Structure 1
Amino acid sequence: MTVLDSRALNRATLARQLLLGRADLTALDAVTHLCGLQAQEPQEPFVGLWSRLSGFRPAALSDLVTGRRVVRTHLMRRTVHLVTAEDILAWRSRHDAMLRQRVLGTYRRELDGIDLDELAAAGRAVLADDEPRTMTELARTLAERWPSAGPRPLGELLIAGLLPVTQLPPRGLWRTKAGARYRLLSSWLGREIDPPSPDDGTDPVGQALVLRYLAAFGPAATADLRAWSGLAGLPSAVAALRDHLIGFRDERGRELLDLPDAPRPDPETPAPVRFLPAFDNAILGYHDRGRIIDDEHRGLSVAGARVVLVDGRVSATWNVDAGAVIVTPLRRFSRAEETAVTEEGQALSSFLTDGEGDQALIVAAS
């Protein structure tokens, strides 16, 4: 098998993640291609799409949320993602067991002995009136029936583990702060989620997830697929598709799978400076994140740091203060790199402030 070094994997990742050049795609097409955007911080997906799309307008994403074309919901890894309505309806059942198990793993003692089917039915009955409710309101409604669990574990089990629900706007709209209020997905979208498919070689949802993941993240190992989705690697789906995929090795000897015709650019392809939002899946979507971030900085990827890619790798963090984009390098920049980072930071500041922001600032690394 051909061995792909970290630079080859880096350029392939940037190409799949729309980070080698801003794509001429709609916001809906981009969210579809990327298999959703991690979105527990509601404003972060706007920066994620600005860094990836030509001429992106925040209103385009807000309109998709209010128009019920994309939804905010717990999905991959039990984290909040912004995904298309079509994808959540097709994928939610495939994630049911993982979502439930992850909540139970956190609150096993508090939730011990609770009949999950009974609790889910009770939660559905409360939400059947289509009145938006917060997690706390839903849990308190049922707390008398299950007093030993406590409202927090009950609420998280219902919202993140048992009930297919969505967070409603105005949460997730551009420059809007709002708490999370929930309705059933079927009520909000006017269609029931698709029934579960078998976890075997005939599993069309699992196969679709594998193919979609590779299109947006490949070449990748099954461990990367598992780290992205939270599912158990989808071994049956991978086995069923293997004859339609091609294989590589990374420098550690791991087998990497990919779509035959997917882009794998020359490793020397120039990579522009890109500002990534907190928890961007370009980093979190892999078990081995070395293709884009050095091991010494790996903790940034799970700490919610916003990062700057220079030559395709995490080389700085960034934040905003009074409209100015503040960049903190993780290594010394060349003069050309500092210029490129400053220019992109200025463009980001203009995006965030409607053209009224200050210049990007480069400050000493901590």
Structure 2
Amino acid sequence: MHADISLTPENVVDFRLRRQQLRAPYGESIDNVLRNLLAVQSQEFPYARWSLAQRTTGTTADEVEQAVADGRILRTHILRPTWHFVHREDLGWLMGLSADRLHQGNKGMYRQTGVDEHAAARSGDILAEALAGGAHKTREELAAVLEQAGFPGKGLGLVYHLMHAEISKILVSGAPVRSAGGALKQTYALFQERVSATGNVPLIGDDREWALGQLALRYFTSRGPATIKDCAVWSGLTMKDVRLGLQVAEESLPGALATVAIDGLDFCLPAEDVEPISATPPAAAGPPLPRVDLIQCYDEYVMGYSQSRHYLGGRAPYFPEGDAPIHVVLLEGRLSGWWRHGFSGGICELDVRVNRPFTTAEQQALEAEAERYGRFLGMKAKLV
């Protein structure tokens, strides 16, 4: 439906924070969070763990790592493509939507690195054999296997052979392992051993339309208000496909989504969020306490939007010069600075740099968020 109402920038920010579970009601578990968001960008694994945990009440880094080890949460190249967390229940059909466009987008690099159809089939068979029977191997171990068979063991050649195998549903993430120095290392496992057999069925006809409807419904219910272009860029699909997905979603769940005009653009959002906008808000008991969030620079609150990312109130993600941190400090849902973590003597040191001096209440909110991050890590965290 198209609702004849207007939204303020504050409405947009408030709805996005709540729908993304950065505000109550939080997810009951990280599985719940990931099913809600469908896919969560995760190329920086230590920070991506926090993206899931901070949307719950009390999940720890160890619990996220265990979910990855168990295979409930899988990490692979999908959508644009880059690394994402996807729940094992969703990876099969979501990769079915992504695979053709990912391969098409990689064609130039496939040619440059010699990953033609014949080479990809051979390397895929070799990788599958190396991981058969529940073997989980690190990138370095698989590189040695490929190199022994005459394939590149380093550089872009290795990268694109592995990525081709991921997109082709041969490889997916395995259980992380600790190196001798204690660093967490990712592994690969067989897709067919970590995802149900139905995840290997190609999406055609009605199945593909169903998947488009699922993607549209879950994107807009978890990230709305957002535009069709926001969804297309996020998913790597065409705007035509997103529109078809919205049509399928409306047919399967009539009235679940609504469209509103904001700043001359049409935004989709859950229909249940539309009605309260025109209602008179209850009188506040007192001035609201400020809220500070430390989110990763690739958090879905940032990367879930392109055309309408400006509601963040600043430019992110970005790559600072020198030694500046890259991750995002939010004050009331707006970009207000940058942060990163470091570790020394068993303590997490948080380097936080804000765009203006915080008030006493805002500084207290930042300190509370630092304490929450420490509880997530299971160690003391302090601002430096």
Structure 1 position 289, deviation (Å): 0.8
1:181 aligns with 2:187: yes
How is 1:95-244 mapped onto 2 (pairs within 5 angstroms)?
A: 95-111=98-114, 114-115=116-117, 119-120=120-121, 122-124=123-125, 126-128=127-129, 130=132, 131-133=135-137, 134=139, 136-137=143-144, 139-140=146-147, 143=150, 151-152=157-158, 154-170=160-176, 177-189=183-195, 191-198=197-204, 203-233=209-239, 234=241, 235-242=243-250, 244=254
| 1:272 corresponds to 2:273 | no
Correspondence list, 1:18-37, <5 A: 18-21=21-24, 23=26, 25-37=28-40
TM-score after normalising by structure 1: 0.82
Q: Secondary structure at the match of 1:279?
A: coil
Deviation at residue 298 of structure 1 after TM alignment = 5.2
Which consecutive residues of structure 2, in runs of 5 or more, have no partner in the other structure? none
Q: Given residue 55 of structure 1, which amino acid in structure 2 is its aligned partner?
A: G
- Counting aligned pairs with the same residue, the percent is 21
Once the two structures are TM-superposed, the CA of residue 94 in structure 1 deviates from its matched residue by 1.1
| 2:143 partner amino acid | T
Name the CA shift for 1:121/1:211 in 2 (closer, same or farther; >3 Å). Answer: farther
The Cα of 1:40 is off from its aligned counterpart by 1.2
SS of the equivalent of 1:226 reads helix
Helix, strand or coil: the match of 1:343? helix
Residues of 2 paired with 1:139 and 1:223: CA distance? 40
2:268, 2:117 → 1: CA distance? 40
Listed one character per residue, the Cα deviations across residues 295-341 of structure 1 (whole Å, up to 9, x for unaligned) are 4x55259x982111101111111122332212100234333222211
TM-superposed CA distance for 1:91, in Å, is 1.5
Residues in 2 aligned to 1:250 and 1:199: alpha-carbon distance in whole angstroms = 34
Partner secondary structure for residue 286 of structure 1: coil
Q: Distance in 1 between matches of 2:65 and 2:54?
A: 17
How far off is 1:23 after superposition? 1.5
Q: Distance in 1 between matches of 2:215 and 2:270?
A: 13
Change in CA separation of 1:277 and 1:90 when aligned onto 2, cut-off 3 Å = same
State how many pairs are aligned: 351
CA distance in 1, matches of 2:178, 2:226: 30
2:309 match: 289
Q: 2:44 aligns with which of 32, 41, 44?
A: 41
- Is the Cα contact below 8 Å between 1:12 and 1:218 reproduced in 2? yes
- Name the CA shift for 1:150/1:52 in 2 (closer, same or farther; >3 Å): closer
Aligned pair 1:344/2:369, yes or no? Answer: yes
Give the C-alpha shift of residue 171 in structure 1: 5.2
Residues 91 and 195, structure 2, Cα contact 8 Å, conserved in 1: no
1 CA distance for matches of 2:350 and 2:156?
42
Q: In the alignment, is the contact (CA less than 8 A) between 2:225 and 2:267 conserved in 1?
A: yes
Following superposition, the deviation at residue 246 of structure 1 comes to 1.4
Amino acid in structure 1 at the alignment position of 2:74: V
* Amino acid paired to 2:100: A
Could you tell me which of 255, 260, 272 is aligned with 2:266?
255
RMSD: 3.4
- In structure 1, give the amino acid aligned to 2:265: R
- 1:350: Cα distance to partner? 4.4
- Distance in 2, matches of 1:36 and 1:83, equals 5
Does the Cα contact within 8 Å between 2:26 and 2:55 map onto a contact in 1?
yes
Distance in structure 2 (CA, Å) of the matches to 1:120 and 1:57: 40
Larger deviation, residues 333-342 vs 309-318: 333-342
Alignment partners' CA distance in 1, 2:206 and 2:123: 32
How many angstroms apart in 2 are the aligned matches of 1:138 and 1:263? 55
- What pairs with 1:55-134 in structure 2 (closer than 5 Å)? 55-111=58-114, 114-115=116-117, 119-120=120-121, 122-124=123-125, 126-128=127-129, 130=132, 131-133=135-137, 134=139
Q: 1:209 to 1:317 in 2, by over 3 A?
A: same
User: Which deviates more, 41-50 or 125-134?
Assistant: 125-134
| Cα-to-partner distance string for 1:88-129 (whole Å, 9 max, x where unaligned) | 1221111111221232244443448x226x623651354135
Structure 2 length-normalised TM: 0.79
Residue of 342, 360, 363 corresponding to 2:383: 360
**1 or 2, which has the higher strand percentage?**
2
The letter of the residue matching 2:332 is D
Q: Which residue of 2 aligns with 1:364?
A: none
Cα separation, 2, equivalents of 1:220 and 1:336: 31
Name 1:6's counterpart in structure 2.
9
Question: Quick one: which amino acid aligns to residue 266 of structure 2?
Answer: E
Q: How does 1:304-343 map to 2 (within 5 A)?
A: 305-321=326-342, 322=344, 323-343=348-368
User: Is the 1:200–1:236 Cα contact (8 Å) retained in structure 2?
Assistant: no
Q: What one-letter code is carried by the residue in structure 2 that aligns with 1:360? A: L
Task: Give how far 1:64 is off.
Answer: 1.7
Q: Secondary structure at the match of 2:367?
A: helix
Kindly tell me: are residues 96 and 176 of structure 1, through their superposed partners in 2, closer, same or farther at Cα, counting changes over 3 Å?
A: farther
